[in-house]
Structures are given as C-alpha cells and as structure tokens.
A and B are shown apart, each in its own frame.
Chain A
Amino acid sequence: MNSPLDPRGVRFSAALSATTLALALLLDRPLAVVLLTFQGLVFAIGTALGPGWQPYGWLFRTLIRPRLDAPSQLEDARPARFAQGVGLAFTLLALLGAWVNPVVFWFATGLALAATLLNAVFGFCLGCEMYLLGVRWFGVRSNKAQS
C-alpha cells in the first residue's frame, strides 16, 4: 500500500483531479454533484489503498507509464496518500455545501482545485505542509511518525 510512487504519476493524477474539480465548478447542479462524488470516491480509494489504486493512478500505470522511460527516482507514497485524505475532507465539505450552503461549496471546491493545481504544476504538496502546521499549532502528531 505504501510502495514507492512514480512522481510523474502523482502529478498526472493531480492534473486529472484538478480537471474534475474545475468541471464541477463550471457545470450545472446535477452533473456537478456527480463529478464531486466521483472525485470524492477517487480520493477515498487513494487514502484507503494508496494513490496508485485509485482510477487516475491506475490509468497512469496501465496506459502512460509503459510508454515512458523509467523514473529517475521514486517518491514516498505516504505524503501523497495523506494529501489524498486532505482532498477527501475538502470534497466531502464541498458535497455538504452543495446541499446546505452554496458558499461552502464554492469555497471548498475552489480550495481543493488550488491544492491539486499546485501539485500538478509545481509538484508541491499543500496537504503535507498543513500536517506540520497542525503539529505546530495543536501539538498533534501521527502516532506512526518516527524519525
């Protein structure tokens, strides 16, 4: 589940997540909720089983990876998996907003879109940085964390 990832696959998945989230913002209600639900499912599988097992990661492994050269280095799966969990939280919030309050929907989907864009374009993991801020502000830490 935590086997190392091809960094290009992580960014490919993020690009597809960003596209799905942008479409959810641009399309009308029933379709937007369907897209958000699908994206939530993608994030949920990525969190539970690892980013390589959700549909976008699977697409990368079966269709794109065979056509590329071997990666110059592999990436730890835990940060990407953690980020998928943060993405899931925001997608659930957005879905809740779609029923309860449109402002929550716009805000949560917009934030999730910005975070996935940062990952796709710069390879930058916003969710991972939020982990350390959480440690600093609340003193919480993952009980698995060991140096």
Chain B
Amino acid sequence: MTGWWVVLAALTTALAFGWFRRSRDGVARALGGESVIRPEVLPGPLGSTATFVQFSSEFCAPCRSTARELERVIDTQPGVAHLELDAAAHPELLRQFGISRTPTVLLIDGAGVLRERFNGPSKPGTFGQSLAQLRTQTSNATPGR
C-alpha cells in the first residue's frame, strides 16, 4: 500500500514542479537597475547598446539552444553582444546574483547596468522583445543624465 502512496506523491510533485517551472522559464524579469556587473569578469567587451550574459554549465541540455537563440538575435541587431560564461568557474557571480540554474541570462544595457534576467530555457521571441523595450527606454531618457 505504501508503494501506491509514494508513486502518487512522486507523480503529483513532479507534475506540479514541472508545470510551475514551465510557466516561469525564460520569462523576462526586471531588475532594479541598481546592480552593476564588473566588466573585467566578463570574457569579452560589452555591446554599445546591450549585452546578454549567459551562464552555462557543462551539464546543461538547454544551454545550447538558448545560445543559438541569442546568436540569432544579435546577428540582426547592431551594438548587441552575447557573452557566455561557465557558471562553475564563477561561484562568486553565482552568489552575487543568486543564480542556481543554467541557463540564466542577464541583460545589461550600454552603461553596464543590469536590466533584466531570464531563468531557465529561453522562450522564442522574448530576447528580441526585451531589446526593443530597452532601445525605446534609452532613446526616451534624457541624454547626459
């Protein structure tokens, strides 16, 4: 009898957890605009308009498809960079930003300020939307603030 209960518990936990994750994965979440990432920890130069910093790891099935999606986006957008980090090599960044999953993508604006964050596998179109939003925000802002 116990076996049936364990199966039922495993089934409901897995389905509830899976649905919860699926509903939140890859969704853009705004960051306060307060935190800044030190450019010297990054493997390359920041884009003049925006940079997607992707945390990946050796054991991560969806990291590749997220990277491909980002490469597609930056191919069509000037001034936007995609930098990929091995999460395991940067435990201090994982702690600083509370990153516990790969892929996690941070969107940084041209001034190096963190704007948005995407946890988990990407959903098609979200990166492009966030970029468009960022561009309108920057063009609306008063220059030389």
Contacts and interface: CB of A to CB of B under 8 A. Distances in A.
Contact of B64 (A76, A102, A135): A76
A117 interface: yes
Nearest to B55: A132
Given A76-B64, A128-B59, A132-B87, A114 B3 contact: no
A133 interface: yes
Contact of B61 (A25, A115, A128, A146): A128
Given A26-B4, A76-B64, A147 B100 contact: no
Nearest to B64: A76
Given A118-B18, A121-B15, A132 B102 contact: yes
B65 A132 contact: no
Contact of B59 (A78, A110, A115, A124): A78
A123 B61 contact: yes
Interface string B90-113: 010011000111100000000000
A141 B60 contact: no
A88 B131 CA distance: 43
A39 interface: no
Contact size range, A: 35 or more
B14 interface: yes
Interface of B: 2-4, 6-7, 9-11, 13-15, 17-18, 21-22, 43, 56-61, 64-65, 84-89, 91, 94-95, 99-102
Interface of A: 7, 10, 22, 25-27, 73, 75-76, 78-80, 82-83, 102, 106, 109-111, 113-115, 117-118, 121-125, 127-129, 131-133, 135-136, 139, 141-142, 144-147
5 contacts: A106-B2, A110-B9, A114-B14, A128-B102, A132-B100
